Structures are given as C-alpha cells and as structure tokens.
Amino acid sequence: MPKIRLAMVQTNPVVGDIDANVAAAIERITQAVALGANLIQFGEMAVTGYPIEDLATRPTFIATAEAAVGKLAQELKAKGFGDVPVVIGHPAFATNPSGWAIAHNSASVLLDGAIAHRYDKHHLPNYSVFDEYRNFVPGNELLTFTYLEKRISVVICEDIWQSGGPVAQISTNQSDLTLVLNGSPFESDKDDRRLALIRELAASQQTHVSYVNLVGGQDDLVFDGDSLFVAKDGRVIGRAEQFAEDIVLVDVDDKPTLASEHQINRSDDNWQVWNALVLGLRDYVRKNGFKSVVLGLSGGIDSAVVATIASDAIGAENVFGVSMPSRYSSDHSRGDAEVLAANLGCHYTTVAIEGMVSSFESALDLSDLASENLQARMRGVILMAESNTNGHLTLTTGNKSELAVGYSTIYGDSVGGFAPIKDVEKSLVWQLARWRNDWAISRGELAPIPENSISKPPSAELRPDQTDQDSLPEYDVLDAILDRYVEKRQGAAEIIAAGFDHSVVDRVLSLVDRAEWKRRQGAVGPKITGMAFGRDRRLPITNKYKG
C-alpha cells in the first residue's frame, strides 16, 4: 500500500497580501515536494491571512481570494505538482448569504489544476476576539475524501473546540487522518489545552490528527504556530516550532512516524510569552512598512522591558530611545535609562522638557492634575515629533495593570501606534525582566536590564518623591484583584469574600470602570492572556453598574 508523506506547512501570511501569500505557499510546496511530501496542509485562511474581519463582507475581496486559489491550483499543475493534494484555507462565496455575511471560511483541496473538494467551517467562534458569526456563513457537512487508499477528513479550528457538527462524523466516515486547519492565537497556557483537545479528538473519532496553525503577529493577535501531529493512540508524533515558520513531515500509516527533525517538548512559559511579544512587535513593524521604533526611556521597568523586546524584535540599531527628564526626574532614573541603552546598543538621546513645560505654565492656570499630565503630554508631543520627522513607529510602554486602572496620561505616555506590553500585568513585567536577564546570562551575554530598574519602587516621577503606591495598592494585590474582576468576571462581593479589603476592591473596580474611555483610545498590542483589553472585552463607556 502506498504511503503518505504529509507536509504540515506553518506559514506567516500577511492579511490582505494575497499575491505574496500565494507566492510564499508555492515556495513552501516546492520545498515540501522536494522533501518527498505527497500531501500538503496549510493553516486556516493561509491565502488571505487571518483574521480578515469585515474584509469578509466585501465582494471584491472574496472574489480576489477565490481567483487566487484557482490560479494557485493551475500553477501547481504547471509546475508538475498536480498530483499532490494541497489543502489550504481561504474565504469563498456562500450560496446562501445571511446577515452581513456573504462568504464561508473554507478549506480547498487542490488537485490536478483544480479545486477537487471544499470544506466550509461549521462552528464559527463569536466570543473573545472572534466575530466569525458576523463575518461568515456556517457550513454543515464534513469533507472526507480518499487518497492513496486512506480516508482523509478536513475540518477547521473551532470545529474541534465545540461539540457536535461535522467533527462528530469523522469516525462514521472511517477517517484514517483528519486535517485540522487553524488560526489559533497564543495565550500563555493554550498549548496544553490544544494538545488535550487534539488527543480527545483522536481518541473519540479514532483518527490520526494533523493540526496546522498559522504563525505571526496580526494587530493584537500573535499566532504561535506549534502545529501538532497526534496519532490515534494519543502519541505526539511531530510538533512544529513556536513563533517561526516551519514544515513538519510525517509518514502517515497505522503507526505514523516523524520524517523531519523536531523537538516534542515546549519551552517554559516565560520564554513563550517573551517570544510572543517579540513576534507581535516585529510583525506589526514589518507588515505595516516601518523600519524603526521610537520610545521614551524613563529608567523605569516598563520602558526597559519594551526597549529590550524591541531590540530582540527588530535589532537595537533600529530602536531609538529618548530620555525626557523633567524637574522631578531623579538622577538615578536618567542613569538607568542610559545604562539600558548602552547594554542594548540602541540609540539614545536626551530632550529636557523643562522649557516646554514652562511655556505652558506661563500661559495657563493649571491644577495639580493638569500639571502632572502636562509633563506626560510634553513627552508625547516629542515622541510624535520624532515619529513624524524620522518615520519611526512610536511605542507606548503602558502595562496591563496601569491600563486597567487608568494610571496613565491620555495623549501623554499613552501615545503610539503599538503597545507591546499592554496585556502584561505589572507583576509579570518584573518576572519577564528577571527572566530575560537570566536568559542572557545563561547564554554568556550581558544582562540588558539594569538591576536598579527592576528593584526600585515604581514611580511616574510627575511630582517630588512620587511612587505608584501613593495612588494604588501594592501591585501583587492590585494584579490579584484585576485577575478576578477582568479575567474571571467576578463581582465585588465575590472578590471581597476571597479575602481582599472592601474599600480597596471598591476603589480598584471603580478605577477600572472609569478608565474605559481611555482604553478605547489606546494603541493595539499583543494579547497573551485569556482576557486582553480591546476587542476581547467589550464594555460600554457609559455604564453606571457597580458590582
């Protein structure tokens, strides 16, 4: 019986760049065939990138994507690969539009210059960051086809996360192999959940499972790759790189075997989160046509971590740090910023803001709050001027804890097109800083982040001797309350019952609610938790509910 060599192709498509995505697919297919593959699988929407959001509702977009798939099939035949089935994800017109949706989220099997089979995703996720019920028409039938005497089924992503639907027919159709095409974004504990789910599918439907994910950053999402092949008996046969393009080869038979060199074990959580942040930033920069970034370096931990992520992502030579001291900036802060820049090897300049602050103070009669915000806004204006003059992308360095309680100045330290640590709570910012330093040391490199930036009490330095804890509870308490309120959706009574101080809980919840208008105007940044601010959590600004 002829044997199938499956190539699991994990690509990093750019949303909307259909021609480039198809060209990259052809290159990968050529490479895979050269390695002996005779069945090739891509991820969900590999043709268009993912998620395409309301592009799905534009007829010209769907028509362009469909035409590209047809052309891809023809080109593969012209190259002599016509007999190798290629399974790839793309949007396709639905015959039964509903609501705004005109298209399916589909997977086509390309064979002999044409589309031999098509599957339309059945379960459309419409929770968390996903709006697929808005954008797609569900399909209802499982695709199972025969190739080299094997029965092969095709489903897409959410189909295996919900019960019922086409997935329940896989064993009925006696499928030897099930290809799952995915666009599954990174969350810090998701790799374990995916593996458990795939094993359950393999066991319940008695099928080998090839789970191919996308990789790459897209606005607030990071697709981590981590494609997996799991045999009927639950064994992990192959596992692709995280955070990089990759091809995994598996010889598929009753006992599948890995035909490429790949590690099965994953790296630890800190490594994963760090690399998610790095990839998220790198792809935002690259895919939006930027070459460099600018950010304020205060000597504090947040800007130090963001500068390090940026240096890892696009090279320190493309990172421009600006120190913008005021009358309240301590000497050690300026020193820490300078040491960081030297450690990283990034650009570093200083622009004192005192003269600018004075020019406003002499024209306006300012309250204390206005006066503090004014300093932050001078810095925002400077960073945007640098961006306008030199074409840098401005990074904003706020962390999730600050964004949650509105501990930032809108149009001040919040300015920028991308917010690399917006989903990283303050406790985790410190943890990542320590981890990154240790990781450097373990590789014989210089630890980039000054110890002083990690160990000193955090301060916005907007008035004399200010620290964050003048206004906020200790960050371990704050983060624990935020985790319950934001991520777990607990009410005040439940959080208090868990042992937190009544007045602290009321105050934190009230701050979170009141900061909604600021968050709405914030930059996008990579989601790494189960509940990121942004489209993951959609609350009214006008909202008097307390509880």
Q: Is 121 a catalytic site residue?
A: yes
Classify residue 538 as exposed, middle or buried by CB count within 10 Å of its CB (0-12, 13-18, 19+). Answer: exposed
128 near its own copies, rule: CB under 8 A: yes
Does residue 118 sit in helix, strand or coil?
Answer: strand
- Window 479 to 508, contacts with its own copies (CB under 8 A): 489-494
| Catalytic one of 150, 157, 187, 346 | 157
- Window 514 to 543, contacts with its own copies (CB under 8 A): 517, 520-524, 535, 537-543
Residue among 62 and 252 whose Cβ is closer to its own copies: 62
Least gap, CB of 432 to its own copies (angstroms): 24
Q: Report the distance separating Cα 156 and Cα 316, nearest Å.
A: 39
Return the range that interacts with its own copies (CB under 8 A); candidates 178-186, 198-206, 254-262, 386-394: 386-394
Q: Report the distance separating Cα 26 and Cα 147, nearest Å.
A: 21
SS (H, E, C) 121-167: CCCCCCCCCCCHHHHCCCCCCCEEEEECCEEEEEEEHHHHCCCCCHH
**Degrees (nearest 5) of the Cα angle 429, 524, 544?**
90
Residue among 1 and 363 whose Cβ is closer to its own copies: 363
Q: DSSP string spanning 50-109?
A: S--GGGGG-HHHHHHHHHHHHHHHHHHHHTT-TTS-EEEEEEEEEEEEETTEEEEEEEEE
Q: What is the residue type of 47?
A: V
547 near its own copies, rule: CB under 8 A: yes
Instruction: Find out whether 383 and 296 touch, Cβ atoms under 8 Å.
Output: yes
Return the range that interacts with its own copies (CB under 8 A); candidates 66-74, 169-177, 333-341, 364-372: 364-372
Q: Can you say how many angstroms the Cα of residue 306 is from the centroid of all Cα atoms in its chain? A: 16
- Window 217 to 256, contacts with its own copies (CB under 8 A): 218-219
257 near its own copies, rule: CB under 8 A: no
- Window 162 to 181, contacts with its own copies (CB under 8 A): none
Least gap, CB of 454 to its own copies (angstroms): 30
| Contacts for 55-60: CB closer than 8 Å, 24+ residues apart | 55/15, 55/16, 56/91, 56/101, 56/102, 56/103, 56/135, 56/136, 57/100, 57/101, 57/102, 57/103, 57/135, 59/102
297 near its own copies, rule: CB under 8 A: no
- Window 417 to 476, contacts with its own copies (CB under 8 A): 417
276 near its own copies, rule: CB under 8 A: no
Count, in order, helices (H) and strands (E) of the chain.
16, 19
Residue among 456 and 537 whose Cβ is closer to its own copies: 537
Q: Name the DSSP class of 297.
A: -
Residue among 262 and 282 whose Cβ is closer to its own copies: 282
Interface with its own copies (CB under 8 A), residue from 363, 443, 457, 499: 363
Interface with its own copies (CB under 8 A), residue from 95, 140, 146, 545: 545
Q: Report the distance separating Cα 160 and Cα 169, nearest Å.
A: 12
φ, ψ of residue 462 in degrees (nearest 5): -105, -10
Interface with its own copies (CB under 8 A), residue from 42, 61, 186, 533: 61
Least gap, CB of 5 to its own copies (angstroms): 33
Instruction: Find out whether 225 and 8 touch, Cβ atoms under 8 Å.
Output: no
100 near its own copies, rule: CB under 8 A: yes
Q: DSSP string spanning 258-281?
A: E-S----SPPPHHHHHHHHHHHHH
Residue among 35 and 541 whose Cβ is closer to its own copies: 541
Return the range that interacts with its own copies (CB under 8 A); candidates 3-11, 174-182, 291-299, 408-416: 408-416
Return the range that interacts with its own copies (CB under 8 A); candidates 110-118, 348-356, 428-436, 471-479: 348-356
Preceding omega of 51 cis (within 30 degrees of 0): yes
151 near its own copies, rule: CB under 8 A: no
Residue among 3 and 546 whose Cβ is closer to its own copies: 546
The tokens describing 218, both together, are 């897209």
Residue among 105 and 343 whose Cβ is closer to its own copies: 105
- Window 105 to 124, contacts with its own copies (CB under 8 A): none
Does residue 238 sit in helix, strand or coil?
Answer: strand
Return the range that interacts with its own copies (CB under 8 A); candidates 74-82, 98-106, 107-115, 237-245: 98-106
Q: Is 44 a catalytic site residue?
A: yes
Interface with its own copies (CB under 8 A), residue from 31, 288, 469, 471: 288
Residue among 239 and 518 whose Cβ is closer to its own copies: 518
Least gap, CB of 122 to its own copies (angstroms): 14
Interface with its own copies (CB under 8 A), residue from 127, 267, 332, 455: 127
Interface with its own copies (CB under 8 A), residue from 60, 96, 140, 503: 60
The tokens describing 130, both together, are 């996903």
370 near its own copies, rule: CB under 8 A: yes
284 near its own copies, rule: CB under 8 A: yes
List Cα–Cα distances, 152 to 136, 231, 252, 490, in angstroms.
25, 14, 11, 44
- Window 2 to 21, contacts with its own copies (CB under 8 A): 14-18, 20
Least gap, CB of 96 to its own copies (angstroms): 13
**Degrees (nearest 5) of the Cα angle 36, 65, 128?**
95
Torsion of CA 444, 446, 449, 455, to 10 degrees: 70
| Catalytic one of 121, 150, 287, 518 | 121
Q: Report the distance separating Cα 27 and Cα 7, nearest Å.
A: 13
Residues with a known catalytic role: 44, 121, 157
